[in-house]
Structure 1
Amino acid sequence: MDQRIELRHLRYFLAVAEELHFGRAAQRLNIAQPALSQQIRQLEKMVGVELFRRTSRSVRLTEAGAAFQPRARGLLGRLAADLDEAGRIGRGESGRLDIAYITSATAIVSERIRAFSRRRPDVQIKLHDGFTVDVLTALRRGTADVGIVRDAEEQDGIDLSPLTTERLVAVLPSEHPAAQGDRVEAAALAADPLILFPRTAGAHAFDLNTQPLRDAGIDVQVAQECSNWHTIIMFVAAGLGVTIAPYSVTALLPPGAQRLELDGPATVSRIFMATRRGDNRPLVQAFIAASESVTGHDDGPTTRTRTGKGLVHGTAGTL
């Protein structure tokens, strides 16, 4: 069979199949009847069989034509749907958005996804959690479209838009001698094992978390490295050590863990939205717009200014 069948052949065939009259079909298609008859004969030649049984008084479908009719209608229907979907994707109304994020920002991520989904209900959202360094890597590689990171350093080709800030606090076992009050000096934690994420997960974030200890003259040595804040907090509750954490991860502490404010200069942690510089795709811009509509609720000032010069498709959860 000749493969050069064009869309007009399908449209012409369906018009004749529905009208069962070449004159009415030609009028419907706004073409001359002889031209329509020629196109149908050409289609039949390409298919290799007659699709219509013609007499001087009637036109009817052959068995092959009757079988071909729903298939031709389906082909044109799928094409129309595909063209509509392509347009919706191009306008940012449909498609898929990959968001990489740090698990300690889950509340921030969820409220922005909720705002976005209200505006773009037909967009599929795929989530990937990981360390800040992983999120940024995924963004650079193109496996993530948007990233939510904590205390990220400027990256070439990446825009960092500050979302919110929050203070760092100490988390101690409830039976710790210093846990009886509401505040603690970092120096009081010098003898305690430190439980924290590895520095490779995000050097800047690690340095911020340990800044209060270093300011107190403590030689920072991590006794237990963990891949997520939930595990860190559970180890503290079990009496295995202490940690310095962003305030938001201490909202629901398990029994055995106590949150205390740190004396001395306040150290804050910043959460950013990360996007590839110059990424003007409608889906990404729609997510940014939805994010900007969300009112920050954390305990530090929220800034919206874009700065900066990624998210990571991590499998382990994180900072």
Structure 2
Amino acid sequence: MELRQLRYFVAVAEEGGFGKAAESLGIVQSAVSQQIRRLEREWGVVLFERTTRRVGLSGAGERLLPEARAVLAAAEQTSRVAADVTAGDDGILRLAAVNGPGDRIDRVLGELATGAPHLQVRLHRLPVVRRLAAVRAGELDAALVRAVPRAPGLELLLLWNDPLYVALPESHPLAAEQALRLEQLACLPLRLAPGGNPPFHELVTGALHAAAGSGPVPGPPFTDLRATLAAIGTARAPSWTLFYEVRGVPSVPRVAVRPLTDLAVSTSLAVRPGPPGPVLRHLLRALHAVER
């Protein structure tokens, strides 16, 4: 069965004859008759009662006519959606996001909803290594990543830089400073989780080497931010950690939080090389609109 056969079937039914149907379709009558006969043979039914005076639907034809119309309507709708997908006005954006800071991601989603209201956005939460692998494999269209300087096989489009904050005991002499530099903290044990976020770990250790000539002094393990801050405030031996803002800068008793002046963390969009497709162009416009 071909769509054109269904079109011919519906045209003959609506025009009341093969000649008029052929005229409305802009083809010869023999082509219409031939395709209707093929359709009847394929389905094993007679669609039209033919007499010398008129052509009318058979019982089978009357039953199948609404089904044929539904198939043609679905095909037309599919073509319209395909055209919208090609233009980027419809479709699915598969994006791996990052937490915070603030409402930036929410604003990006708002821009997408305004610029491409029929575009579906599917957000994924994955560890950074899996995030990048999914973009390479085509399982994701793009991924937001932090502190990633390079990603073999992918392009990294720098979006923004976010400040870093130092947390240390309120009783420590450095807490008297309004802002801190890495070299001031180099001798103090650092709570840093190397396994959970390798790019961030490498960023910090590399910056400490550059600022103080050596890597960090290992401190107690970093668990999650709240638990780590609580431990910094109550432990007998002083230590410190650093973090980027996700949902505001936390306030914890006996812990001083100070901005770090000589290091920031970058956020980039990881995509496959080459010109961006229509869906990615919508995402890039939304990201740029949020950063204006």
TM-score by length of 2: 0.81
Contact kept? 1:166, 1:270, Cα under 8 Å: yes
* 8 A contact 2:16–2:55 mirrored in 1: yes
Alpha-carbon distance in 1 for matches of 2:167, 2:125:
24
- Tell me, yes or no, if the aligned pair for 2:94 and 2:141 is still in contact at 8 Å: yes
Aligned-pair CA distance for 1:149? 1.3
User: Aligned partner of 1:206: which letter?
Assistant: H
CA displacement at 1:31 relative to structure 2: 3.2
Match of 2:58 in 1: 62
Separation of aligned partners in 1, 2:113 and 2:179: 41
- Taking the aligned partners of 1:65 and 1:260, their CA distance within structure 2 comes to 79
Asked if 1 retains the 8 angstrom alpha-carbon contact of 2:164 and 2:264, the reply is yes
Assess if the C-alpha contact under 8 Å between 1:100 and 1:129 holds in 2: yes
Once the two structures are TM-superposed, the CA of residue 212 in structure 1 deviates from its matched residue by 5.0
Match among 245, 264, 268 for residue 264 of structure 2: 268
The higher relative CO (CA closer than 8 Å, separation ≥ 6) is in 1
After superposition, the Cα gap between the structure-2 partners of 1:273 and 1:19, relative to the gap in structure 1 and judged at 3 Å, is: same
Could you tell me how far 1:159 is from its partner in structure 2?
Answer: 1.7
1:235 counterpart (228, 234, 244): 228
Paired residues in the alignment total 283
Report what 1:223 is aligned to. Answer: 220
Q: 1:90 aligns to what? A: 86
Residue 202 of structure 2 is matched in structure 1 by: 207
Contact 1:102–1:131 (8 Å) recurs in 2: no
1:112 matches 2:100: no
Indicate the residue corresponding to 1:310 in structure 2.
none
Among all aligned residue pairs of Structure 1 and Structure 2, give the percentage whose two residues are the same amino acid: 30
- Normalising by structure 1, we get a TM-score of 0.75
In structure 2, the partner of 1:48 is 44
Among 12, 24, 31, which residue is 2:27 paired with? 31
Shifted more, 15-24 versus 32-41: the winner is 32-41
Give the superposed CA RMSD. Answer: 3.1
Mapped pair 1:79 → 2:108 = no
Indicate which of 148, 166, 185 corresponds to 2:162.
166
**What are the residue-to-residue correspondences of 1:120-131 with 2, within 5 Å?**
120-131=116-127
Report the Cα distance in structure 2 between the residues aligned to 1:168 and 1:40, rounded to whole angstroms: 73
Structure 2 portions without partners, runs of 5+? none
For the 8 Å contact 2:222–2:228, the answer to whether it is kept is: no
Alpha-carbon distance in 2 for matches of 1:129, 1:38: 56
What is the match of residue 134 of structure 1?
130
Tell me the secondary structure at the aligned position of residue 223 of structure 1. Answer: coil
Of the three residues 126, 132, 148, the one matched with 2:144 is 148
Shift >6 Å, 4+ stretches: none
CA drift of 1:66 comes to 1.4
User: Is the Cα–Cα contact under 8 Å of residues 102 and 132 in structure 1 kept in the other structure?
Assistant: no
User: Take 1:216 and 1:59, find their aligned partners in 2: how far apart are those partners?
Assistant: 94
Q: Distance in 2 between matches of 1:18 and 1:197?
A: 72
CA contact (8 A) 2:102 2:246 kept: no
Give the Cα–Cα distance (whole angstroms) in 2 for the partners of residues 127 and 152 of structure 1.
20
Q: Distance in 2 between matches of 1:99 and 1:128?
A: 6
Which of 284, 287, 302 is the matching residue for 2:283?
Answer: 287
Does the 8 Å contact 2:143/2:270 carry over to 1? yes
- The runs of 5 or more residues in structure 1 that have no matched partner are 297-319
Q: 1:141 to 1:200 in 2, by over 3 A?
A: farther
